[in-house]
Amino acid sequence: MKRVKTILLVAVLLAFAGSLMMAQAGRGKGRVNGIVEDEYGKPIEGVKIKAEFLQGGQSGEILRDALTDKKGTWSIIAIGSGKWRFTAMKDNYVPNYVEYDVKQLSVNPTLKIVMKVSQQGPKPVIEDEESLKLFDQANQLFTEKKYDEALTVFQQFLTKHPEAFMVSLGIGNCYKELGDLDKAIAEYQKVLDKTQESVKDNSLRTKALSAMGDAYMKKQDFEKAQNYFKEALAITPDDEILAYNVGEIFFNAMKTEEAIAYYEMAAKIKPDWSLPVLKLGYAYLNVNNLPKTLENLNKYMTMDPEGATANGVPALIETVKKMQK
pLDDT digits (tens, 9 = 90+) for 135-150: 888 888 887 889 999 9
Domains of the chain in sequence order: 2-23+126-324 (1.25.40.10), 26-117 (2.60.40.10)
- Average pLDDT for 233-259: 88
pLDDT at res. 197: 53
Q: Can you tell me the distance from the alpha carbon of 101 to that of 111, in angstroms, rounded to the nearest whole number?
A: 11
Q: Are 68 and 44 in contact (CB under 8 A)?
A: yes
- Average pLDDT for 32-60: 79
Is the confidence at residue 111, as pLDDT, over 60?
yes
Mean of all residue pLDDT scores within the chain: 82
pLDDT at res. 319: 92
Is the confidence at residue 49, as pLDDT, over 50?
yes
pLDDT at res. 126: 61
Q: What percent of the chain has pLDDT over 90?
A: 40
Q: What percent of the chain has pLDDT over 70?
A: 83
Q: Can you tell me the distance from the alpha carbon of 285 to that of 293, in angstroms, rounded to the nearest whole number?
A: 5
Burial of 137 (0-12, 13-18, 19+ CB in 10 A): middle
For 250-302, write each residue's pLDDT tens digit: 998 889 999 999 999 999 998 988 889 999 999 999 999 999 999 999 999 99
For 163-187, write each residue's pLDDT tens digit: 888 899 999 999 999 999 999 999 9
pLDDT at res. 7: 44
- Average pLDDT for 20-42: 71
pLDDT at res. 242: 85
